[in-house]
Amino acid sequence: MRVTVTGGTGFVGSRLVEQLLASGWNVQLLTRNLRANLPAQAEAHVWDSQTEPAPAASLDGSDAVIHLMGEPVAQRWSPEIKRRIRDSRVLSTRNLVQAMSRMETRPELLVSASAIGYYGSRGDEVLTEDSAPGTDFLADVSQAWEQEALAAEALGVRVLRIRIGIVLGMEGGALERMLPPFRAGLGGPLGQGAQWMSWIHLDDLVGMMLFPLQYPHIRGVWNGASPNPVTNQEFTDTLARILKRPAIFRVPEFGLRLLFGEGSQALLGSQRVKPEAAEAAGFRFQYAGLHAALRHILRS
């Protein structure tokens, strides 16, 4: 069995590729450049994802494609950064599907990353896969991103879109940036701390991506988040308690807006997401509660 992975050298992709190889899958990687630390067992292909279709050889014989490419969102947004955030998702997905359209024998499955930014900032509203999209920049990007992935269905490819929340792990992502100030006793909530954080343990997210490889009826859209979202204040208190550190230095909203500009909406937005579709399909979380998830990550 063979799977093609884009974004396979990133925070999520690296763990995914590790699990695929451990499970005996033949892995092909699509990457912007051939780096020395690519796994020796995987076959790598160079791809300029925003300007050309994926190389035919990278998809040849693949049973599935898992598409994870995307410019990081957690940075100060300028017009150029916003263009890169959008194009790295929308154009790469378009060019990936275009490459599939040229094949006689296509992959059976496309698992495409999306984001809970699809819903916009919605306060305390509980959001499921059936909830309406938002209207801000990240919501617009997510909708366009998903539409490009759905185009593969017209080619006879089964498509699962996973709207990913805040991914927690030790080797990247949000937690890596949080830990230094929290360990120094300088952590605290962002703004008022009332905004909802829909998080997921890295291992559970990888499990979600592997699940449809085993079950051919899985398609549609899943929320890639734990069934137990928390407020930013609850997250702060839980992390501080596990680290045995105070967390009293609240970061004011104006400070975040000064530092990140429009990009602060990614930190202050509120999404209270539930993974109803994944649970209905039989997916079971290893780390459904935040305390257990953080304890496991920090011990490892």
Q: What is the pLDDT of residues 64-84, one digit of tens each?
A: 999 999 999 989 999 999 999
Tell whether the model's pLDDT for residue 37 goes beyond 90.
Answer: no
Domain 2-165+200-225+274-282 has CATH 3.40.1160.10: no
pLDDT at 220: 98
| First-residue to last-residue Cα distance in the chain | 31
Is the predicted pLDDT of residue 113 greater than 80, yes or no?
A: yes
pLDDT at 270 over 90: yes
Confidence of residue 226 (pLDDT cuts 50, 70, 90): very high
Average pLDDT of the residues in 135-162? 98
Buried b (16+ CB within 10 A) or exposed e, 261-274: eebbbbbbbbbbbb
Residue 36: what pLDDT? Answer: 64
Instruction: With cut-offs at 50, 70 and 90, classify the pLDDT of residue 237.
Output: very high
Q: Is the pLDDT of residue 218 over 70?
A: yes
| pLDDT(116) > 90 | yes
Name the percent of the chain lying above pLDDT 90: 90
Confidence at residue 158, expressed as pLDDT on a 0 to 100 scale? 98
What tokens does 285 get? 């979380």
What pLDDT does residue 35 have? 76
Tens digit of pLDDT for each residue in 10-20? 999 999 999 99
Residue showing tokens 């275009």 = 98
Distance CA 86, CA 140 (A): 9
210-214 contacts: CB < 8 A, separation 24 or more?
210/16, 210/19, 210/20, 210/23, 211/278, 211/281, 211/283, 212/64, 212/109, 212/111, 212/158, 212/160, 213/1, 213/3, 213/63, 213/64, 213/109
